[in-house]
A and B are shown apart, each in its own frame.
Chain A
């Protein structure tokens, strides 16, 4: 068995899977066919619903992958062949020639700058921008290694030019590179190949052939500040600012003619986002959305689409598009459409049209599927083995993650990544930690005492000509040499090359240095490398300082050598001043109790417990009721697989009960939770008031949700037996005895009952539409002549199977669309007979009819008593009362507080498939810590000086990580002792942001490496010791 895993695809799915896998103890080969990781997410401008800058949150993860010693990054590689079986696969990977030696290229860009002006469309900018024939796809590309486009390069095509080779100081250009096959051995494979967006593939009626019709990904690049138009919203045809922008939804999706029968599931949301950002960019622009259903089913999603309309004045039309044509004189577009609210056919003129075109499995998915021997589904996504485990492919040992399995958004992808990692960890658990390397430093760390005279070494980098040409490096070196405590200062060509690392070590040892400074590029990418070098020479890595004289000096002052040189000198002087004051820091190791406490015994909790247990850790599963199963106990048939819930539940409960690593604790309440990651003390109380104490390392919250009982709404109350909720219908259907149905002639479903309102419950619960359609189908099967009416607003059928599920059943009922402003009226006609009057927006008419059974699809609301639990766990709830995750996009299963995780409906209403995926994901997140057995705290944390602390608690209030606590301290004064409060920072939880230190009114908190005296010294040195050259 191999302790290594192949991850195919370097988008957010592949990135997160790789990172989680290494934390679970596996080596990863990350194969990406393009030259950089980052995938689609790197192309996005912002992410919904928070409008976070996409690259801001992604880039740190890309860098993390790059630096991770256990991830072998194979960009510009492709998988060619696979043989073997789960645990032992042999994979052949093709390394495509970059014509640039990746071991030598420093990413300085001299080559591209000098490459003769032959410019090709840049696919990263969706071909809207240009690049040279030697290029990196985008400035933040990882790895930052250039490559040559062999179809464009004059040298490779015609044998002339060769300029890049001449200018490359690192001698990295190699025109002779050939494709190369590489064989790797892995235990499992994870496929994360993502999606493409339709453009030319669309039929011509959508008008994509016209210049000013773009698809949404192209529009993301247009919006992006680092995109082809530098963030100015311009039309491709004339680079003028468009005034009227039309966003067309479902352009080709949910459309049998375009061969894309499913809903791409993210378009409603990104359209709302893009329209909001457009308005932010240019206030005068007018945005119109031509929509179909609104499918915004995630946390705060529906509200986001409302905000676009209410706050930003984006106008939504409910329409059906017939064609989009160009006015050849103005290059404007004329949209011919049917207004579904009035039934009229109309025309609309727009200056720019953005199409929400179908998202389809990425080009080459089919071929890769054949190579890997995994099946595709009807839509060419990779087929999951079972509906309830969408992360496994049809072939054992090969897993699926992200969009290649079906349409999903980023948080779902990230959750799946963690879920996949945990399943791989289960498969390969015997070989965990067999192929990962832990860095061992041969030279022991030398002691540096605080009063030791600083002995500083400085290296100033030329970075080829990137710094040297614009900054007078020799002058900088000469000057810095004269500063007190600087023992050694020298320049070199490339500080990041491996021979430079040897040189740094040599200097540190020979000159007995106790501080080291490199002045070169940005610490964001290179600090860790130099820190490691220092540590290899026995110098504590926190005794290193980095100065950025390239990205923030030479490159931005290219015409002012004198001033740039002066600035470089200043920056270095400041760094030297700080370096004198920096201290060695210790990274502490904390033991983690190898167990997990799971709160809630529903499907999510059981799944998480099983996953943890199967990885070999102890799981405690606590449930407040008498039996496991949660909401699943009340369900009848599960859609879209049409299986009996009780059978699935029984199988699951048996598995949980049989697993020796799981301890089930029923009918118990949590009394108290104390401690922090690795060491929680939990006390439980059962119905006999007996107390049970547990010690656990991590906690998973899986408390589920409940159905809202809409007292008083639509005649729902005790007296009216035949006005019921969806869940009550499920229970009736569960019953053997269906005689109640004999009397019923007409059933009416009212969807969105008490949901998606202006006030109160504003959100969409995401599962009610599907459940209603399922129940309509069941009722129809039970009684063929039953008449069924469904009153709906939008149909939320966004998963890949759902559109078809609905399409196959829509004839079972009469679907009437109503409006929030015009709610259906329900009146009692006589005993168990109701009169309904509804304004059908499609027909633009009021319809009245009688019905003898009303089923209300009401939203899910948070479980009871969550506040109390949240207080005990010290984690937040959101506005709607569900638990609030650490980051809606990239940390959907984490709380900000390390060690506590979240899954299922406790986070937000979701269906069983998603709950299971999330539960596996949460188990994966939690087991990273359990697997490692310990955590290493960062040296860069805050620390309280108890002598100064006045116990005011302001620091505790501002800490986002619950790392600060006020503790009682007893002070003895002669014969009286008093208790005073002192702040105390838990270094295991502190992330070193320093907000507490800036908040402390008495300056009692110091932030290591960014302390008052250190920053103060930088300021003083710059301003008070200013040298005029």
Chain B
């Protein structure tokens, strides 16, 4: 999976984005975005997990391999994890994934992101997703 380096014109490109949200903070933040009617692009498909610590790097790889143009993992802020320390492992694993696999495989690291969103950050959830979607749109389709 080596990615072509060009960033072309991507008009009309609607990326496929997989988002993993932990149940306790970031999924709740996504709900609050809804309750507050903060609008964001409709490209993401959320997969709810109990804790961001559940997100196995293989899920991210699978998504990229099968046609996702971007993958975003969201969890509670460090220190806030409902399971005490799950997100610390997420972070560790994620950093490893970023530095080794993504770079070695030539995937643009911008396509995979980790963000912390709390249950009261509805606005932030919408902003993070908007920004991520726009970034992916700029990058263009992920050519495998």
- Measured CB to CB, the residues of A under 8 A from B are 45, 50-57, 59-60, 139-140, 224-226, 230-231, 522-524, 548, 550-553, 555-560, 563-564, 566-567, 570-571, 574, 886-887, 896, 940, 958, 960-961, 991-995, 997-999, 1003, 1007, 1010, 1012, 1015-1016, 1018-1020, 1022-1024, 1026
Contact A995 B31 (CB under 8 A): no
A45 and B121 alpha carbons, distance in the complex (Å): 10
Partner of A1024, one of B40, B66, B83, B90: B66
The residues of B that contact A54 with a CB separation of less than 8 Å are 120
A1007 and B83 alpha carbons, distance in the complex (Å): 15
Chain B 31-53 against A: per-residue CB contact (8 Å), 1 yes, 0 no?
11111111110100111111101
Interface-central residue, A55, A556, A991, by most chain B CB under 10 Å: A556
A511 and B131 alpha carbons, distance in the complex (Å): 45
A958 and B18 alpha carbons, distance in the complex (Å): 26
B55 CB, min distance to chain A CBs, angstroms: 6
**Do A997 and B34 form a contact, CB below 8 Å, given A50-B79, A56-B28, A1020-B66?**
no
The residues of A that contact B45 with a CB separation of less than 8 Å are 567, 570-571, 574, 1022
B24 CB, min distance to chain A CBs, angstroms: 7
A59 and B118 alpha carbons, distance in the complex (Å): 12
Partner of A55, one of B35, B39, B120: B120
Contact B49 A1026 (CB under 8 A): no
Contact A551 B34 (CB under 8 A): yes
Partner of A551, one of B35, B47, B89: B35
Contact B54 A994 (CB under 8 A): yes
Contact A45 B66 (CB under 8 A): no
A1023 and B47 alpha carbons, distance in the complex (Å): 13
Contact B39 A559 (CB under 8 A): yes
Contact B18 A1019 (CB under 8 A): yes
Contact A225 B56 (CB under 8 A): no
Is B138 an interface position by the 8 A CB rule? Answer: no
Residue count of chain B within 8 Å CB distance of chain A: 59
Is B25 an interface position by the 8 A CB rule? Answer: yes
Partner of A556, one of B28, B34, B68: B34
The residues of A that contact B58 with a CB separation of less than 8 Å are 1003, 1012
Is B27 an interface position by the 8 A CB rule? Answer: yes
Contact B123 A225 (CB under 8 A): yes
Partner of B85, one of A52, A231, A960, A1003: A960
The residues of B that contact A1020 with a CB separation of less than 8 Å are 62, 66
Closest 10 CB pairs of A and B: A551-B34, A994-B54, A995-B53, A993-B83, A555-B34, A53-B118, A1023-B67, A56-B119, A563-B42, A993-B51
Is B63 an interface position by the 8 A CB rule? Answer: yes
Contact A1010 B79 (CB under 8 A): no
The residues of A that contact B49 with a CB separation of less than 8 Å are 994, 1010, 1015
Contact A994 B31 (CB under 8 A): no
Partner of B36, one of A139, A571, A574, A1016: A139
Contact A139 B50 (CB under 8 A): no
A992 and B33 alpha carbons, distance in the complex (Å): 26
The residues of A that contact B139 with a CB separation of less than 8 Å are none
Partner of B59, one of A50, A523, A1016: A1016
Is B16 an interface position by the 8 A CB rule? Answer: yes
B30 CB, min distance to chain A CBs, angstroms: 5
Is B112 an interface position by the 8 A CB rule? Answer: no
Contact A139 B121 (CB under 8 A): no
Is B113 an interface position by the 8 A CB rule? Answer: no
The residues of B that contact A998 with a CB separation of less than 8 Å are 53-57, 89-90, 93
The residues of A that contact B34 with a CB separation of less than 8 Å are 522, 550-553, 555-556
**Do A994 and B51 form a contact, CB below 8 Å, given A60-B24, A551-B34?**
yes
Closest to A52 in B: B80
Q: Write 28 A-B pairs (CB below 8 A) sorted by A numbering.
A: A51-B79, A52-B79, A52-B80, A53-B80, A56-B80, A56-B118, A59-B28, A224-B120, A523-B48, A551-B30, A552-B34, A556-B37, A557-B39, A557-B40, A559-B39, A886-B84, A960-B85, A991-B83, A994-B50, A995-B54, A998-B89, A998-B93, A1003-B58, A1007-B54, A1019-B59, A1022-B16, A1024-B67, A1026-B67
Chain B 81-103 against A: per-residue CB contact (8 Å), 1 yes, 0 no?
01111100110010000000000
Interface-central residue, A60, A886, A960, by most chain B CB under 10 Å: A960
- Measured CB to CB, the residues of B under 8 A from A are 14, 16, 18, 23-25, 27-28, 30-40, 42, 45-51, 53-59, 62-63, 66-68, 76-77, 79-80, 82-86, 89-90, 93, 118-124, 126
B42 CB, min distance to chain A CBs, angstroms: 4
A247 and B88 alpha carbons, distance in the complex (Å): 33
Contact A896 B38 (CB under 8 A): no
Partner of A140, one of B32, B59, B67: B32
Contact A1023 B32 (CB under 8 A): no
A998 CB, min distance to chain B CBs, angstroms: 4
B129 CB, min distance to chain A CBs, angstroms: 9
Closest to A562 in B: B42
Contact B120 A45 (CB under 8 A): yes
Closest to A573 in B: B45
**Do A564 and B42 form a contact, CB below 8 Å, given A56-B80, A998-B93?**
yes
The residues of A that contact B54 with a CB separation of less than 8 Å are 993-995, 997-998, 1007, 1010
A550 and B30 alpha carbons, distance in the complex (Å): 11
A55 CB, min distance to chain B CBs, angstroms: 5
Closest to A896 in B: B84
A140 and B36 alpha carbons, distance in the complex (Å): 11
**Do A556 and B39 form a contact, CB below 8 Å, given A52-B79, A226-B120?**
yes
Contact B50 A1010 (CB under 8 A): yes
The residues of B that contact A558 with a CB separation of less than 8 Å are 37, 39
**Do A556 and B33 form a contact, CB below 8 Å, given A53-B25, A226-B120?**
yes
Contact B86 A225 (CB under 8 A): no
The residues of A that contact B68 with a CB separation of less than 8 Å are 1019, 1023
The residues of B that contact A139 with a CB separation of less than 8 Å are 32, 35-36, 122
B2 CB, min distance to chain A CBs, angstroms: 19
The residues of A that contact B40 with a CB separation of less than 8 Å are 556-557
The residues of B that contact A548 with a CB separation of less than 8 Å are 31, 46, 48
The residues of B that contact A550 with a CB separation of less than 8 Å are 34
Closest to A107 in B: B35
Contact A524 B23 (CB under 8 A): yes
**Do A1015 and B47 form a contact, CB below 8 Å, given A552-B31, A993-B83?**
yes
A960 and B84 alpha carbons, distance in the complex (Å): 7
The residues of B that contact A557 with a CB separation of less than 8 Å are 39-40, 42
A887 and B122 alpha carbons, distance in the complex (Å): 24
Interface-central residue, B40, B82, B126, by most chain A CB under 10 Å: B82
Contact A1015 B59 (CB under 8 A): yes
The residues of A that contact B67 with a CB separation of less than 8 Å are 1023-1024, 1026
B127 CB, min distance to chain A CBs, angstroms: 10
